[in-house]
Amino acid sequence: MPSQQCLRCGYIWEVNGSRNNPELCQSCRARRQGKIGDCIVWHGLFAEDMVTPITEDGDEVLPGVRLCGNSDCVQPNHVAKSQ
């Protein structure tokens, strides 16, 4: 079976014939999501733990426990303020 390589990330996948062969893999073609369910997704910087959303100045965005379980959620209703 012929294979194709993504021009952005280098991922290699097998293709079935020559029908509509995209130059990017499925992951690289995916659009950025603004909301997932009721959560608002953070698209900015993350702390060194790669989980905590931070501002450009290094301040944590909405500090507290995420009630929804998604650590990158910035929906104010989903954050229990830490005391």
- 23 shares its domain with 45: no
- Residue located via tokens 């931070």: 54
> Is residue 66 located within the same domain as residue 53?
yes
Confidence category of residue 81, pLDDT binned at 50, 70, 90: confident
52: Cβ contacts below 8 Å, ≥ 6 apart: 46, 60, 71
With 70 as the cut, is the pLDDT of residue 7 above it?
yes
Range of 5's domain? 1-30
pTM: predicted TM-score of the whole model, two decimal places = 0.57
pLDDT of residue 54: 92
Tell me the pLDDT tens digit for each residue of 22-48: 788 888 888 877 888 899 989 899 999
Assess whether 26 and 37 both reside in one domain: no
Q: How many domains is the chain partitioned into structurally? A: 2
